[in-house]
Amino acid sequence: MSATSPPSPLHGATAIVTGAAVGLGAAFARALGEAGTHLVLCDVRLELAASVAELDDLGVAVVGVPGDVSLPQDVQRVVEAARARFGGVDVLVNNAAVFRASPPTGPWAKGLDDFEAVVGVNLRGPSCSGGR
Ligand X SMILES: NC(=O)c1ccc[n+]([C@@H]2O[C@H](COP(=O)([O-])OP(=O)(O)OC[C@H]3O[C@@H](n4cnc5c(N)ncnc54)[C@H](O)[C@@H]3O)[C@@H](O)[C@H]2O)c1
Does 19 bind ligand X (CB under 6 A)? Our answer is yes
Residue 92 has phi, psi (to 5 degrees) of -125, 120
Alpha helices in 35-107 (DSSP H): 48-57, 72-86
Does 65 bind ligand X (CB under 6 A)? Our answer is no
Residues 96, 126, 128, 129: which binds ligand X (CB under 6 A)?
96
Do 54 and 29 contact (CB within 8 A), yes or no?
no
Task: Return the amino acid letter for 79.
Answer: V
Give the N- to C-terminal CA distance of the chain in Å, as an integer. Answer: 34
- Stretch of residues binding ligand X (CB under 6 A), selected from 31-39, 55-63, 65-73, 103-111: 65-73
Question: Is the CA virtual torsion 132, 96, 51, 71 positive or negative?
Answer: positive
Residues 121, 126, 128, 129: which binds ligand X (CB under 6 A)?
121
- Stretch of residues binding ligand X (CB under 6 A), selected from 36-44, 55-63, 80-88, 105-113: 36-44
For the chain, how many residues are written? 132
Count, residues near ligand X per rule CB under 6 A: 19
Q: Shortest approach of ligand X to residue 6 CB, angstroms?
A: 30
The residue ranges that bind ligand X (CB under 6 A) are 18-19, 21-25, 42-45, 68-70, 95-98, 121
